[in-house]
Chain A
Amino acid sequence: MGRFLYDLFYNSDLVLNGWSAAAHQSWAARGWPPVILDGLLQLAWAVAAAVFLALNALFIIWFERKVAARMQIRRGPNRVGPWGILQTLADTGKLLIKEDIIPDAADKAVFRAAPLLVLASTFMLFVVLPFGKGLVAADLNVGLVYFLAISGLSVIGILAGGWASNNKYSLMGGMRSAAQIVSYEVPAVLTVLSVALLAGSLRLGDIVRAQPSYGYILLQPVGFLLFLIASNAEINRGPFDLPEADSELVSGFLTEYSAMRFAIFFLAEYTNLFLAGAFASTLFLGGWRGPLLPPVVWFLLKSYFVVFLLIWIRWTFPRLRVDHLMELSWKVLLPLALANLLVTAVLVKVL
């Protein structure tokens, strides 16, 4: 029993492979087509990811509120549940029972679809995320490219939301957000490419294995910083939250969304926050690698550490103006990312 538990946590790839092989065997023995079993296994992964998404949202929102509060000399939610951990549940409940308002002049189909588009692109990123040894839904051999491609899909949802609201503020917010995300993709891609060069593979599982247990951060300090900043901008957070700035454009593309639709945008935003932290830790901090503790725990610790950094940045700095934002991306981050790539390529060849 103890051995089984140990294996479950520390050698999860062997355990899962064993279960998968056994399932395939008994399935084939009954003469059913294997493709259905594969489909069911993937469904199981999707359900697991959805459960994780929900639990993570509950945790991370509470985490942000507590951390932000402590930085602002106050306590944060502490009434609903011990240390306020049930606060998010209460807020979600409130959002669920609110009236769903769709503006009369809005494009109804697109209005309804927009939040789901954003959530879909977020959810799809869980496919390649290595939670632990072998704990990956599909370790694609182009996992890195998949990650970069899908993270750009959220732009469609945001533009859709801004357009469908039939509101000048929303439209401006949506367009700004799209411009921002697209601009910050470029340095992100280049930085990630440097990591791929170091690891010699685009498969996320290989990238994690190729790193020392503390990650590539010592080899790619500039890269880590660049990726952090670029991710921050991609998730519309922190100093880069102009599209949702309530003092400038009254929530930007989110203006007309209320109740559950707003909750879905909200959920997508916080899940994106976690994913930014997760991918940063996978690429730069060594993912699930680490001594003593089970891999899953290391993965979560490192991811939440990066999340903590992003929260810290958000609550310290004022907002960047839209032209400064663009300047930062194209005039500062891009040249640095190119230089980083060049130096990495040269060193990889030479050493």
Chain B
Amino acid sequence: MNVTFGDRDEMSPSVTGITPLPAAQSTSDEFLLNVGPQHPATHGVLRVVVTMDGEVVKDIVPHIGYVHRGLEKLFENRTYEQIIPFTDRTDYLSAIANNFAYVMGVERLLGLEVPKKVEYMRVLMAELNRIASHLLWLAAYGLDMGAFTPFLYAFRDREEIGAMIEEASGGRLTTNYFRVGGFVHELPKEFFPRLRKFIARFGKAVNELDTLLVENAIFVARTRGVGVIGRERAVSYGMTGPCLRASNAAFDVRRDMPYSIYPSLDFEIPVGRNGDTWDRSWVRIEEMRQSLAILRQAMDGFPEGDHRTRAPRNIEPPAGEVYSAVEGPRGEIGFYIVSDGTRKPYRVKMRKPSFSNFSALPEILRGNKIADLVAVMGSLDLVVPEIDR
């Protein structure tokens, strides 16, 4: 499908998804702007066709599918253990959250209980992953806005997290660390001293990043009141995560569909007021602070025990179905697993937050200026492989 940049007559509706107005009605100021699939500001390979009237966006049609790898079909031909590395790669920035959701689902199908220590390890890893993902979001967002310096400050801390996770699992990004019943290896001896030092330093680092980017007057001017979506519309579009919480809807999977040890941990859910871009940014900064609190509690209450429980060597859950969800950095990550009693699942459906968040883009952006496109897309924190699977 070879599409070039051109006037509306050259781009047929089947390609752009936009039905052209009859010639008499179309105003001469409208033109189509094609953003992507290769563009520095789209976070991944996606394409957005914008109908603009001067600087104002009249309509916007997203096109996805450039990274569709047919993972759900693939999973029907893999054993339950073989699927775990694939879950890393659906959303490589929240690999651990994906692992978590999938492994939890399989354990529920098997009726397997994991030891307390495994739960604590899982929460530690998940929250570190959340901080790392939000740091990368902040870095990339600053870059989109033209602020280069927060990128390097955020990555300084992200490197530290990556090093810690690598010591524990062997991988910095796609970790493949979780297993049904626990973990591959025990946490290394140096993990906790390193984590302690990180926690001691990170509180200040978040404040630094906050002052440098999110509280900066130019950033506020560019994001306050921009890209607003109301609570009812956000819920109807299935938005989850910081994008939903910014619209004054207090929904967090850790609170509302509790799992693991989260019910026993004390943390707050930051909720924004206006549903604009600035609120989405603020929620993420606050979440980093809350994750820090969770890390501290998990580290202080860390129990003794085994890092893996006895699980069957060949995982063959009884026929049934399960839906297990976690709160990933971008929203609710869910795995709907249908088992037919064999070693390979009958169907695995992945519920990904960016899929629903992105579908709300036309609603959010209609009527805004084209200069806000970058700001809004960055604030949705999209990861395209997760949208396409």
**Are A and B close enough to touch in the complex, i.e. CB under 8 Å?**
yes
B222 within 8 Å of A (CB atoms):
yes
CB distance from B44 to the nearest CB of A (A): 14
Question: What CA separation (Å) do A246 and B41 show in the bound complex?
Answer: 8
* Smallest CB gap from B221: residue in A: A324
A35 within 8 Å of B (CB atoms):
no
B146 in contact with A319 (CB, 8 Å): yes
Question: What CA separation (Å) do A74 and B156 show in the bound complex?
Answer: 10
Mark the stretch among B211-219, B247-255, B349-357 that contacts chain A: B211-219
A292 within 8 Å of B (CB atoms):
no
> Which residues of A in the span 60-75 have a Cβ within 8 Å of any Cβ on B?
68, 71-74
Partner of A317, one of B41, B152, B216: B216
Q: Could you say which residues of chain B place their CB within 8 Å of the CB of A100?
A: none
B39 within 8 Å of A (CB atoms):
yes
Question: What CA separation (Å) do A184 and B143 show in the bound complex?
Answer: 25
Question: What CA separation (Å) do A72 and B371 show in the bound complex?
Answer: 27
B218 in contact with A248 (CB, 8 Å): no
B191 within 8 Å of A (CB atoms):
no
CB distance from B305 to the nearest CB of A (A): 39
* Smallest CB gap from A245: residue in B: B146
Q: How many residues of A contact B (CB 8 A)?
A: 23
B39 in contact with A318 (CB, 8 Å): no
Q: Could you say which residues of chain A place their CB within 8 Å of the CB of B146?
A: 239, 241, 245, 247, 317-319
B153 in contact with A321 (CB, 8 Å): no
Partner of B144, one of A168, A247, A320, A321: A247
A153 within 8 Å of B (CB atoms):
no
B213 in contact with A318 (CB, 8 Å): yes
B222 in contact with A247 (CB, 8 Å): no
B369 within 8 Å of A (CB atoms):
yes
Question: What CA separation (Å) do A317 and B147 show in the bound complex?
Answer: 6
Q: Could you say which residues of chain A place their CB within 8 Å of the CB of B39?
A: 250
B145 in contact with A318 (CB, 8 Å): yes
B374 in contact with A248 (CB, 8 Å): yes
CB distance from A346 to the nearest CB of B (A): 31
* Smallest CB gap from B146: residue in A: A319
Given the interface pairs A318-B219, A324-B221, the reply to whether A247 lies near B148 with Cβ below 8 Å is no
Which secondary structure characterizes the binding site on chain B? helix
A214 within 8 Å of B (CB atoms):
no
Question: What CA separation (Å) do A241 and B147 show in the bound complex?
Answer: 11
Question: What CA separation (Å) do A11 and B148 show in the bound complex?
Answer: 45
A72 in contact with B145 (CB, 8 Å): no
A248 in contact with B41 (CB, 8 Å): yes
Q: Beta-carbon contacts of B336-379 to A below 8 Å, as 1s and 0s?
A: 00000000000000000000000000000000010110100000
B149 within 8 Å of A (CB atoms):
yes
Q: Could you say which residues of chain B place their CB within 8 Å of the CB of A324?
A: 218, 221-222
Given the interface pairs A74-B152, A318-B216, the reply to whether A247 lies near B143 with Cβ below 8 Å is yes
* Smallest CB gap from B152: residue in A: A72
Q: Could you say which residues of chain A place their CB within 8 Å of the CB of B334?
A: none
Partner of B145, one of A168, A315, A319: A319
Q: Could you say which residues of chain A place their CB within 8 Å of the CB of B148?
A: 68, 72, 315
Q: Could you say which residues of chain A place their CB within 8 Å of the CB of B222?
A: 318, 320-321, 324
Question: What CA separation (Å) do A245 and B219 show in the bound complex?
Answer: 16
B216 in contact with A73 (CB, 8 Å): no
> Which residues of A in the span 226-271 have a Cβ within 8 Å of any Cβ on B?
239, 241, 245-248, 250
* Smallest CB gap from B33: residue in A: A168
> Which residues of A in the span 300-328 have a Cβ within 8 Å of any Cβ on B?
315-324
Question: What CA separation (Å) do A296 and B60 show in the bound complex?
Answer: 57
Pick 10 A–B contacts, CB within 8 A, sort by A: A71-B149, A72-B148, A247-B41, A315-B148, A316-B147, A318-B145, A318-B147, A320-B218, A321-B369, A324-B222
Known pairs A72-B149, A241-B146, A318-B147. 8 more at Cβ < 8 A? Answer: A72-B152, A239-B146, A246-B40, A247-B143, A317-B216, A318-B145, A318-B222, A319-B146
In the A-B complex, the 7 residue pairs with the closest CB atoms = A319-B146, A318-B147, A318-B145, A72-B152, A247-B41, A318-B146, A247-B144
